Chain A
């Protein structure tokens, strides 16, 4: 189980970093998503992998960590998931807007072989 989880985190991180470094905004967003999956699994694993222990209080079992899984990483992961989800949504909206404004989904808003970015420099419009 440790091996499976560790390699899952590793593969997801690898994918995330590779995609994050690409020049298309869609790939970058996918990369960020993979990275956040890897992070969530990592935080989850921070509470130690245990089998057969209850996550919520049960009658007849003493409320200590010997009988339950660590609740804190679960709370942390929940926060992390919510934030990552919201940020993905923001980035997607931004990427779509940048694509429609600048006519390119390159992260620099223009292809590298073009000399100058499209001049639509409207400062405070």
Chain B
């Protein structure tokens, strides 16, 4: 059996354990960072290999403990998983760069928590078992609690309490749904369930529908769909920059789960369950898009504004994933890494801006001088153009592809929602930019200069790297879109996935 599929989970797990050993002060930050970067390099290599291996459309199925897939836990790395893994790793590299400029020394256990978070993210993208998905969700969330709260106090604790209670409650609902799912269908393997859901007897249909509805609800809560996004803006806005940037992928995990479940279980072959929940998700996505756009316009602080941009991108993806035609789905898959990178870049740029403004922090209504504003202003401009979907960057290409593939019946409402929210986003960002960069008095020479934390070059580099990803996605848009389209065609024909999982049999163990 090929062990490549489990490496993206094992490497950060080892990295995290090792980081715990070198945390003591006598080793110093250099050793810690070496460990973190070694793990990151190994992870990148394994994910790149996995991406290359699965690029032809063959999924890699890995049976943990050599148990048959319907009984044990299976990891399935298909093109979608590899796509998500690559996004995660590229994002994590930039976040780690930013954190290594100094934050990692102020937050205890930063490196270990960071690696554990990667374990959870990678595991959630790789697993082919729905209970295992819950476990990796928990790993990811527990690490995120630590990352969000370490080194914090006061109001951050309040936000942390909200975030933790909300997520723990959502996880409890997840467990209830899983308990009911096993009780009514007798398996937790996603491929196996795909077959069993299609054959549900009518007497069980109501129970199964309620269970799966509960499951979708949980994923929507994680992915910040209306009305379940209220926890997001405050907690993301309070997180330290490197952590907030990494969190940009967390809503995408919920979206990934929705996409996986929707295509595997509620595809066209699913009998009575075909298309279940699709309309609801589409219209909730449209409503979230509008509310997210208004949030961008109303936000008082720059980082809250960026958090609403995360909500907007999640809503756009919900729409793309619930339309169910190949071109829109492909465009959504191209939009996903783009929106992740650009939101993360904005969080890092916001940190640069905030620190230069001293006591005014990132409040937009306070006009404050900003020494050395040129670099952050240019970075902010590039990121804003990209996130708002203006030409020539990747956001424009993604949204254009998304809109052009829309079926005629949905053209009017969806175009209105997406273009209207884009307008709101442009207005919000323009207002923010004007207040932060243009209407700024020059500091009087004898006035006390605002306390300015020195910007380290590596922080700038991290923000630039994320923007370079976006520019790279623009330059190589044709091959990337072709790949995203291929993923979409895989997803719309889930029988290939199911066959591959079922055809993988234990090698040593007799069934």
A and B interact physically: yes
Interface residues of A (CB under 8 A from B): 20, 25, 28, 32, 35-36, 39, 42-43, 45-48, 72-73, 76, 79-80, 83-84, 86-87, 90-91, 94-95, 97-98, 101-102, 107-109, 117-118, 120-125
Residue of A nearest to B155 (CB): A121
Stretch of B47-55, B163-171, B477-485 on the interface side: B163-171
Please, which residues of chain B bring their CB within 8 A of the CB of A91?
161, 164-165, 168
Please, which residues of chain A bring their CB within 8 A of the CB of B439?
none
Contact A42/B157 with A35-B169, A87-B168 known, Cβ cut-off 8 Å: no
Measured in the bound complex, the distance between the Cα atoms of B175 and A26 in whole Å is: 23
Q: For B157, give its contact among A43, A72, A101, A124 (CB under 8 Å).
A: A101
A90–B164 touching, CB < 8 Å: yes
Q: For A28, give its contact among B152, B165, B176, B238 (CB under 8 Å).
A: B165
Residue of B nearest to A72 (CB): B182
| 26 A–B contacts, CB within 8 A, in A order | A25-B161, A32-B169, A36-B175, A42-B179, A43-B178, A48-B183, A73-B179, A76-B179, A86-B142, A87-B142, A87-B168, A90-B164, A91-B168, A94-B145, A94-B157, A94-B164, A101-B153, A107-B161, A107-B165, A120-B153, A121-B154, A121-B155, A123-B361, A125-B151, A125-B153, A125-B154
B158 at interface by CB-CB < 8 Å: yes
Please, which residues of chain B bring their CB within 8 A of the CB of A121?
154-155
A46–B157 touching, CB < 8 Å: no
B183–A83 touching, CB < 8 Å: no
Closest chain-A Cβ to B115's Cβ sits at a distance in Å of: 18
What's the dominant secondary structure at chain B's contact region? Answer: helix
Measured in the bound complex, the distance between the Cα atoms of B181 and A73 in whole Å is: 11
Q: For B176, give its contact among A39, A47, A95 (CB under 8 Å).
A: A39
What's the dominant secondary structure at chain A's contact region? Answer: helix
* Chain B residues numbered 320-338 whose CB sits less than 8 Å from any CB in chain A: none
Q: For B160, give its contact among A28, A32, A36, A94 (CB under 8 Å).
A: A94
The A/B interface has a contact count, at CB < 8 Å, of: 108
A120–B154 touching, CB < 8 Å: yes
Please, which residues of chain A bring their CB within 8 A of the CB of B151?
124-125
Please, which residues of chain A bring their CB within 8 A of the CB of B188?
72
Q: For B168, give its contact among A32, A72, A122 (CB under 8 Å).
A: A32
Contact A98/B161 with A43-B178, A90-B145, A117-B155 known, Cβ cut-off 8 Å: yes
Measured in the bound complex, the distance between the Cα atoms of B142 and A45 in whole Å is: 27
Q: For A102, give its contact among B142, B158, B171, B175 (CB under 8 Å).
A: B158
Residue of B nearest to A118 (CB): B154
B157–A107 touching, CB < 8 Å: no
Closest chain-A Cβ to B7's Cβ sits at a distance in Å of: 23
Interface residues of B (CB under 8 A from A): 131, 135, 138, 142, 145, 149, 151-158, 160-162, 164-165, 168-169, 171-172, 175-176, 178-180, 182-183, 188, 238, 240, 354, 361
Contact A83/B138 with A94-B164, A102-B158 known, Cβ cut-off 8 Å: yes
Closest chain-B Cβ to A94's Cβ sits at a distance in Å of: 5
B155–A120 touching, CB < 8 Å: yes
Measured in the bound complex, the distance between the Cα atoms of B240 and A43 in whole Å is: 37
Closest chain-B Cβ to A109's Cβ sits at a distance in Å of: 4
User: Which of B142, B164, B168, B183 has the most chain A CB within a 10 Å cutoff?
Assistant: B168
Residue of B nearest to A117 (CB): B155
Measured in the bound complex, the distance between the Cα atoms of B175 and A109 in whole Å is: 29
Please, which residues of chain A bring their CB within 8 A of the CB of B165?
20, 28, 32, 91, 107
Residue of B nearest to A80 (CB): B175
A43–B153 touching, CB < 8 Å: no
B157–A97 touching, CB < 8 Å: yes
B182–A73 touching, CB < 8 Å: yes
User: Which of A28, A36, A83, A95 has the most chain B CB within a 10 Å cutoff?
Assistant: A83
Please, which residues of chain A bring their CB within 8 A of the CB of B156?
122
Residue of A nearest to B160 (CB): A94
Residue of A nearest to B149 (CB): A94
Residue of B nearest to A73 (CB): B182
Q: For B175, give its contact among A43, A47, A90 (CB under 8 Å).
A: A43
A35–B158 touching, CB < 8 Å: no
Residue of A nearest to B165 (CB): A28
Measured in the bound complex, the distance between the Cα atoms of B171 and A10 in whole Å is: 18
